[in-house]
Every structure is written in structure tokens, then in C-alpha cells.
Amino acid sequence: MAYVLQMDFNMEGPFGDEMAEAFSGLAKSINDEEGFLWKIWTENPDTNEAGGIYLFETKETASKYLDKHSKRLAQFGIADVNAKIFAINSKLTGITQGPV
């Protein structure tokens, strides 16, 4: 069973193409995380929020990454991170064409 990690936090930017350029190294490094399958990057410049939806192989690898990334965000001065881990219902997700 795969697990989704949902994270969001306040961030002053950058957003859009500037965000893609600034965080491309981070994006590449996430590919090397244990149990990582994919990430959808999220942003809302109108509300100064960013985050992502991640898919991990196990709840343990999602939790491990959440701890690591929360510490990394704290180093950037982002301490208030909203995060949740969910199990995926593969049967229903398949019906609605989810990529799992």
C-alpha cells in the first residue's frame, strides 16, 4: 500500500519559473529519498503558500521524509508546517484514474 504525504506552509516566494529555477536542485535530490515515488509541487502566490503532495512506498518512509524536510524548512525559517500522511485506497483511486 502506498502513502501520501501532504505538506503546506507559508512562504514569501519565489513562485512560478523563479521557484522552479531556485529549487531544481532540491527537486532532483528528492528523487533519491528512500521509498519516494513522485511529488506534485504546489504553490499559491496570492496567499504566499507552497508545499507538495508526495507519494511514498510506505508510511515509514513518508514519516522519515517528513521529519527530514521539516528540519530543512526550519533552517529556512519556516517552522509552521502543516503535514498529514494518508493511506491510499487503491481501488477507488484506480476508478478515478489516480496515478498509483
What is each CA distance from 36 to 31, 40, 64, 80, 81, in whole angstroms? Answer: 7, 12, 11, 23, 20
- E-assigned strands of the chain? 3-10, 36-44, 49-56, 81-87
Q: Is the dihedral of CA 12, 3, 24, 32 positive or negative?
A: positive
The arithmetic mean of pLDDT across residues 73-84, rounded, is 92
Residue 8 to residue 12: CA distance in whole angstroms = 13
Q: What pLDDT digit, counting tens, does each position of 14-61 carry?
A: 999 999 999 999 999 999 999 999 999 999 999 999 999 999 999 999
DSSP state of 75: H
Architecture (CATH level 2) of domain 3-55+78-94: 2-Layer Sandwich (3.30)
pTM over 0.85: yes
- The answer to whether the CB of 66 falls within 8 A of the CB of 7 is yes
Q: What is the mean pLDDT of residues 3-13?
A: 95
Cell numbers 504553490 correspond to: 43
pLDDT for position 84: 98
The better pLDDT of the pair 99, 85 is held by 85
